[in-house]
Amino acid sequence: MVCCSTGEIVALKWVDISDNYIHVNRTQIRYKSENGENIHEIRDTPKTETGIRDVVIVDALRPVIKALRKRNPFTEYVFEKNGECIHIHSVCARLYYLCDILGFQRKGMHALRRAYATKLINAGVEEIIILSQMGHTDIKTTRTHYYKNNSEAEYVFDRISSAICL
């Protein structure tokens, strides 16, 4: 689900999940009320029209979805606590917690989305597929905000090493 924003993830309902796809069609937003209180609200649309999309469920995600469903068999939202969908910050806090106990550098959801986009681009996945999975209208958005060309340094090193080595 790293192709989704945190708001899209927490707004997922079980009716959005089929055998092969997750239908992304809403998001949670957070804003401050007039008295400064944080308000979390589910919007029936993502940030943009192209944010409405079907995300492929890869095989590695299937057991996770199955375990979540077993844990929450009667909930409306996939990620729910006390009868309500969880808040965006709960996902971020849990991700940091997992990084800490696994000894990884802390990474947020945006970093995971960047890694996902980078892997797709570096693997030569067609731009139209990348756009459909990320929910973008223009590949420039993906390349500008989500792509880190980490293969270029390896390529330069390999080319120079092979040219110099005897």
> What is the tens place of the pLDDT at every residue in 79-97?
998 888 999 989 889 889 9
One-letter amino acid of 16: D
Q: Is the pTM of this model over 0.85?
A: no
Separation in Å, CA 142 to CA 57, 117, 120: 20, 7, 11
**For position 4, what pLDDT does the model report?**
87
Residue 166 has pLDDT above 60, yes or no: no
- Given a cut of 80, whether residue 149 has pLDDT beyond it is no
Contact 135, 51 (CB under 8 A): yes
Residue type at position 40: H
Which range, of 13-17, 70-74, 141-145, averages the lowest pLDDT?
A: 141-145
Q: Copy the structure tokens of residue 43.
A: 């919007």
More confident residue, 157 or 1: 157
How confident is the model at residue 59, as a pLDDT?
A: 93
pLDDT tens-digit series, residues 14-64: 999 999 999 999 999 999 999 999 999 999 988 878 889 999 999 999 999
Q: How confident is the model at residue 109 (pLDDT cuts 50, 70, 90)?
A: confident
Q: Which residues have CB under 8 Å from 87's CB, separation 6+?
A: 10, 28, 30, 40
Instruction: Name 14's Cβ contacts closer than 8 Å, sequence gap at least 6.
Output: 69, 75, 76, 77, 78
Mean predicted lDDT score pLDDT of the chain:
88
